[in-house]
Amino acid sequence: MSGYKTKLIVAAIDFGTTYSGYAYSFKDEYKKDPSKIFANNSWSDGTSMRTSKAPTVILFDNKGKFNSFGYDAETKYAELSEDEEHIGWKYFRCFKMKLYEKMNLRRKMMLSDDQGNRMPALDVFSEAIKYLKDHLMKKVQSRIEDIRDTDIHWVLTVPAIWHDGAKQFMKEAAAKAGIPEDQLTLALEPEAAAIYCKELMVSKAKEQNEEANLQIFDPGSQFIVLDLGGGTVDITVHEVQSDGTLKELHPPSGGPWGGTVVDKGIHKFLDELFGKDVMAEFKEESEYKVDDLDLQRTIELKKRKFKDDEDKVKLKLPVAMYEHFEGKTSTSFASTLPMTKFARSVTKKKDRLIIENDIFLQMFKNPKDCLVNHVENMLRKPALRKVKNIIMVGGFSESEIMKNAVKHAFPTKKIIVPDQPEIAVVTGMYMI
């Protein structure tokens, strides 16, 4: 980042598996107030819902030209599908994980979309980055009309556990999106979050005279950052130095234990309940694309808000799912349910499934166990025995299940979840 200090603006893009966002700040304002960071916290699905990030979903038309990103892409594709006009259009979601899964990345790697259509991965990633870059530029230009591309230094997230090939791929995608290499820094997501927590939490603690929170970042203090994202969990360990900087105590680690593991568990449950073939057809048939989109959004919300002490879980499903089941089986879903293995654990009331708590808890078991076991093994190392604090960031850290799992596993540690943990990475990148 040798040239970033000469730039007027530092702009950060958090390119996530399930959600993406950005933040930026002006150099002069930062000098006066380090917390003066601007993020777009009002991504909208067209209804009353507002989120701090947009879904990492991208849509190309039937000629391969970029059409839309985020909620706009989801809605546009669903509308096209209703009118049978989506054939040939290319719709990609959750594609970032392909870089983690592919150890031998090639520039010509292809991605398959919702319909099985293929496009060069570099084109898909670069257009997504370009959209976020252009969106951010419009925000900046609304404040300073004559701002130039050369006035900005860009920071782009990469998971700490990614291999070098994946990081190089992101550099090339950024260059194709119009971000020159000499204006780009790749930032490890949990390290960016660590800086965010240190800078902003210390500032807030000073304002509110909270001595306990100030001590978390005293020189010599050690802390773990758990960055729980949609695809991966990234873990870093730092020690605060006498000059306030952070020293890495352990190589970045983690695994594919993010929120999408829970999504897969919920979809597996629905496959068992409705039948795998019935669910596959429901997802594939164009007339149900809007309903399937509603289902995805319902699952995302339920995953974040579900609590382990709930007696029952109420999951509202699209009416079209029941209608599709009954059209395929010639029987009502309500009459079939008592004959399944869920006869005693699932009931139906109108368009809602009333599900026993244990079924939903099981869907979190794998990411919980993998995370807790990994951290337990880390803390056994002699160099990490002084770690007293664990900081949780990332969208999946909003899950009460994951927060409670960490609290119960490490009762002697102080567990910290900052406000809006889902934007800790993108805000911290700016501070690097």
Confirm if 155 and 196 have CB atoms less than 8 A apart. no
Q: Which of 51, 83, 349, 392 is nearest to 228 (CA)?
A: 392
| Listed range (30-44, 144-158, 398-412) with the worst mean pLDDT | 30-44
* Two structure tokens written together for 207: 């304002």
Please give the pLDDT value at position 189: 81
Residue 402: which pLDDT band, with cuts at 50, 70 and 90?
very high
Q: Is residue 100 scored above 50 in pLDDT?
A: yes
For 410, phi then psi, to 5°, come to -130, 70
Indicate the pTM of the whole model.
0.85
Cα–Cα distance measured from residue 263 to residue 382, given in angstroms and rounded to the nearest whole number: 36
Helices 289-305 and 276-284 pack at an angle, to 10 degrees, of 110
Residue 84: which pLDDT band, with cuts at 50, 70 and 90?
confident
Please give the pLDDT value at position 310: 77
CATH of domain 209-258+365-418: 3.30.420.40
Residue 427 CB-half CA count within 13 A: 27
Confirm if 178 and 149 have CB atoms less than 8 A apart. yes
Cα radius of gyration rounded to whole Å, the chain: 23
417 secondary structure, DSSP code? -
Cα–Cα distance measured from residue 15 to residue 345, given in angstroms and rounded to the nearest whole number: 39
Please give the pLDDT value at position 35: 65
Please give the pLDDT value at position 424: 65
Task: Give the start-to-end residue ranges of the domains of the chain.
Answer: 4-188, 209-258+365-418, 260-363
Residue 82: which pLDDT band, with cuts at 50, 70 and 90?
confident
Identify any residues that bridge with 120 across adjacent strands, giving them in sequence order.
110
- Specify the 3-state DSSP secondary structure of 317: coil
Residue 145: which pLDDT band, with cuts at 50, 70 and 90?
confident
| Listed range (30-34, 146-150, 289-293) with the worst mean pLDDT | 30-34
For residue 349, give the amino acid letter: K
Please give the pLDDT value at position 212: 59
Q: Which residues contact 71 (CB under 8 A, 6 or more apart)?
A: 43, 44, 45, 46, 54, 55
Please give the pLDDT value at position 208: 65
Average of pLDDT values for 345-357? 93
* Two structure tokens written together for 73: 């892409």
Residue 103: which pLDDT band, with cuts at 50, 70 and 90?
low
Residue 281: which pLDDT band, with cuts at 50, 70 and 90?
very high
Phi-psi region for residue 377, left (φ > 0), alpha (ψ -120 to 50) or beta? alpha
Please give the pLDDT value at position 23: 87
The mean pLDDT value of the chain amounts to 87
Cα–Cα distance measured from residue 90 to residue 3, given in angstroms and rounded to the nearest whole number: 38
Pairing status of strand 50-51 against strand 9-14: unpaired
Q: Is residue 432 scored above 50 in pLDDT?
A: no
- Number of Cβ within 10 Å of residue 259's Cβ equals 28
Q: Which CATH superfamily is domain 4-188 in?
A: ATPase, nucleotide binding domain (3.30.420.40)
419 secondary structure, DSSP code? S
Residue 13: which pLDDT band, with cuts at 50, 70 and 90?
very high
pLDDT greater at residue 39 or residue 134: 134
* Two structure tokens written together for 324: 């599709």
Residue 431: which pLDDT band, with cuts at 50, 70 and 90?
very low
Average of pLDDT values for 181-207? 77
Place of tokens 């164009």: 286
Residue 129 CB-half CA count within 13 A: 28
Do domains 4-188 and 209-258+365-418 share one topology? The answer is yes
| Listed range (22-36, 125-139, 248-262) with the worst mean pLDDT | 22-36
* Two structure tokens written together for 258: 């993010």
